[in-house]
Amino acid sequence: MASRGTRYTEEQIIRILKAVESGTTVAEVCRQYGVAEQTVYRWRNKYGGLETSELQRLRTLEAENSRLKKIVAQQALDIDALKDLVAKKW
């Protein structure tokens, strides 16, 4: 049984949600893993229906999205700096 305040990995969360989907009551799963029912419902909204392989793909896409956002932000800064440079009278 997990102690209070334990952080679960996404894989563990999916395993817990699969236990609920297989017919175990939410209350029983909560007692078994030491989490609140609200936590299970929140996890279900976020991770419901995901497989472990899909979770890995989701992580990859989120990392790529974050990287691309940083690139776009840097380009916007570069464009702004170049506009300032061009706007100055030489």
The predicted structure's pLDDT at residue 48: 81
Closest CA to 36 of 64, 61, 2: 2
Q: Is the pLDDT of residue 78 over 90?
A: yes
What mean pLDDT is predicted for residues 47-59?
85
Q: How far is CA 29 from CA 3, 21, 36, 55, in A?
A: 14, 11, 9, 21
26 pLDDT band (50/70/90 cuts)? very high
| pLDDT above 90 for 58 | no
Contact by Cβ (8 Å): 5, 35: no
- Inform me whether the pLDDT recorded for 14 exceeds 70: yes
Of 62, 64, 43, nearest to 54 (Cα)?
62
